[in-house]
Amino acid sequence: MFKRSTLPLGGAALCGALLLGGCANQMSQRSEHEERIERKLLDHSLQIDVGEPKVLELPQRRVRIHEQKTFEVTEFEVTRRYDRYTPYQAWRETYEIPLGAVAVVAGIGANVANVVMLGRLPDTVTKDWISYGFAGLNPFMNVQSNGRAQQNLAGIDEVQRDQRREYTSLPWSERPVQVAAGKQTYDLSTDRNGVLRLNLLDSPFSEQNLNHIGTLRLTVADEDDKTRADASLLVSSNLRGKLLEAHGLIFDDLEDDEVNQWVHRVKRLSDLGLEEEASELEQSLIELTRNDPELQQEFLKSLTKDAHRLVADPGAIH
């Protein structure tokens, strides 16, 4: 009694396993090849170039900041292998079974003809027709179809091809810089070329009394890996003594002054050794009088006569 009940169950289980195993039509593996580059950061540093001389004698200075990195670069060749199969769809058997029967008959005929022709027929006729036919006749398997094929990742192989060191030096472009002047700390920023333009006559330094500030301390830091750099720039006592007067000469109201007062401002800045600031103020005043040619000519003549300045051609400004 025991044997009679277990045999049918075992047979059904075996048939079920065979049917389920035949549902997916396994196809040839597919491979993908690509190159992968791995970059490992070995060293990271920041460099602040405060320029020469190390002591500020003029109120303006361009400070250049660079970021330097060393990488270990490894190149890999990656191969991904995929198992491919045609998923089973029962309704396709309505046309695959009759087509399969035709293919089996045609394949048998082709093999007979191939014997007569001494094996000159291609495998696509002799073998592939037979394989297609039996897959079509199997009610639990669809024939292979590249258009419906699905795939699963079977494995990944990586082969190292090259390893080298790579060095980069880039400007600290549009990044923050902290400048400490005494007890005050200012958050400034570099330009796209990694240059910090310091001007002690301009904000925020003009709002602080720098008479007793002999050192500016510059700090840059990368918050990602805590890399930082510091530098100091000394401010000469001679320059500190000029800053307050120079600021007034440049930024006090100009429109209410007479021409001789404009000339005095330009000449006084030049006498203080601040030639760049004198030229900038001179050009600003020429631009200010652009719509009043008579006033402009009076100012230019006075600059030449009283301040002994070599005046730029106003036409180049217009």
pLDDT digits (tens, 9 = 90+) for 224-266: 888 999 999 999 999 999 998 999 888 888 777 788 898 899 9
The two three-digit tokens of residue 239, written as one number: 């320059």
Tell me which of 113-117, 157-161, 311-315 is least confident: 311-315
Res. 283: pLDDT tops 70 = yes
Read off the pLDDT of each residue in 154-158 and give the average, rounded to a whole number: 88
Phi, psi of 147 (to 5 degrees): -70, -30
- Ranges of each domain in the chain: 253-318
Q: Is the pLDDT of residue 316 over 70?
A: no
pLDDT, residue 311, reads 67
- Give the pLDDT score at 44: 95
pLDDT bracket for residue 201 (50, 70, 90): very high
Give residue 209's pLDDT band: very low, low, confident or very high (50, 70, 90): confident
pTM over 0.85: no
- 8 Å CB contact between 46 and 66: yes
Quick check: 17 pLDDT over 60? no
pLDDT, tens only, 1-14: 444 444 454 444 43
Asked if residue 301 has pLDDT above 80, the reply is yes
Residue 153 and residue 278: Cα distance in Å, rounded? 73
Helix (H, G, I), strand (E, B) or coil at 288: helix
pLDDT at 207: 85
Tell me what percent of the residues of the chain surpass a pLDDT of 70. Answer: 85
* Poorest-pLDDT segment among 19-28, 112-121, 246-255, 257-266: 19-28
Tokens found for residue 198: 């310091």
Report how far residue 39's alpha carbon sits from residue 16's, in angstroms, rounded to the nearest whole number.
52
How high is the pLDDT of residue 24? 65
305 burial type by CB count under 10 A (0-12 exposed, 13-18 middle, 19+ buried): exposed
- At residue 136, the pLDDT reads 66
- The yes-or-no verdict on residue 157 having pLDDT over 80 is yes
The answer, yes or no, to whether residue 15 has pLDDT greater than 80, is no
Rounded to the nearest integer, the mean pLDDT of the chain is 83
Percent with pLDDT over 90 in the chain? 40
Radius of gyration of the chain (CA): 43
